[in-house]
Amino acid sequence: MAKVKVCCLGVWMLAALLIISGCSAVTDDLAQESRDMAVIEYEGTDELTEQAFAGQEAAVEREKMAVEADKIAEDKADGAGGDSERKIIREQYLQLDVQDLSQTLKQIERLVNRVPGAYIETIEQWTHEAPHRRTEYQAHLVLRLPVDQSASFLQEIESYGNVMYRSVHGQDVTVEYVDNDARLRNLAKHEERLLSLYDQVQTIEDMLKLEAELSRIREQIETIHSRQQYLERVTSTVRVTLDLIQVEEKEYLSFQENKPLWEEAWAGFKQSVNAIGRLAQRGVVLFVTVLPYLFAVALVGIPVYAILYRWRSRKA
């Protein structure tokens, strides 16, 4: 009986050892499998991390270029302190009542011709049937004047009649101008980098992609450059819109009476000078008109006078 118990105990111990060994092997296999899965997962995570980091680097580079362009634009805008350095689109509107519309138009044309850089964009003239069978003569002009000459020019024009309405408008485009300038520089650098890649292109597909990107960059450069030229042109001049209305002398003078004494005296002096100028012009025109007749009379009269003078001398 004791021997049987010893045998059973040995069998149970052997079975326990086998179970423990099997569990250890299974545990080792599971641990190895877990380590392999962890390595695979880590490698996949590392690859995704590298891709994300590469995309983040590209985004950071683009953001850096944009920040640099904005910083350059802000620095230039802050540095542009004076009006001569700022880019401002200026517009003015004047409505004048005048006594003689045709004469005023001639004065404006002569004034424009005297100012370098000034020119007439638009000029329209028409008649309007007003109430009480009265005909009004009106004109509409659009002028372009150099900024440095605009003040004296407009002061001269205002002296041609009664200013019934005046408006001034200005738009500061300095920030847009300097921002476009910075963008042009960045696009030019990008274009240079693309051109440097020509020697490294090995396939036709890559060549087509490079050409498409170059075309896109150059189109942006041309668009911004055209905008810069437009801003330079419109900010170097003042756009002046004039509406001229010819009114009767009584209405014109009644408005003059409401002016201060010195303004009325200056307006009277101007009118007198203009009247003398018109009289002198008419005298010159009359002289030039009759000059051919004077030549004809002299051509016939001088020989006749000479003959008569000799005949009288002989008779005496």
- Which range marks the domain in which residue 98 is found? 80-258
274, 222: one domain = no
Q: Do residue 139 and residue 203 come from a single domain?
A: yes
Whether 307 is in a domain gets the answer no
Residue 167 lies in a domain: yes
Q: Do 107 and 251 have their domain in common?
A: yes
Structural domain contains residue 110: yes
In a domain, 234, yes or no: yes
SS (H, E, C) the chain: CHHHHHHHHHHHHHHHHHHHHHHHHHHHHHHHHHHHHHHHHHHHHHHHHHHHHHHHHHHHHHHHHHHHHHHHHHHHHHHCCCCCCCCEEEEEEEEEEECCHHHHHHHHHHHHHHCCCCEEEEEEEEEEEECCCEEEEEEEEEEEEEHHHHHHHHHHHHCCCEEEEEEEEEEECHHHHHHHHHHHHHHHHHHHHHHHCHHHCCCHHHHHHHHHHHHHHHHHHHHHHHHHHHHHHHHCEEEEEEEEEECCHHHHHHHHHCCCHHHHHHHHHHHHHHHHHHHHHHHHHHHHHHHHHHHHHHHHHHHHHHHHHHHHHHHC
Same structural domain for residues 135 and 120? Answer: yes
Read off the pTM: 0.52
pLDDT digits (tens, 9 = 90+) for 81-115: 455 578 999 999 999 999 889 999 999 999 999 99
**Is 172 inside any structural domain?**
yes
Read off the pLDDT of residues 247-302 as tens digits, 9 standing for 90 and up. Answer: 877 666 665 555 566 666 666 676 677 668 767 877 888 888 888 888 888 887 88
Structural domain count, the chain: 2
Co-location of 161 and 115 in the same domain: yes
**Same domain (yes/no): 99, 169:** yes
Query: Is residue 224 predicted with pLDDT exceeding 90?
Result: yes
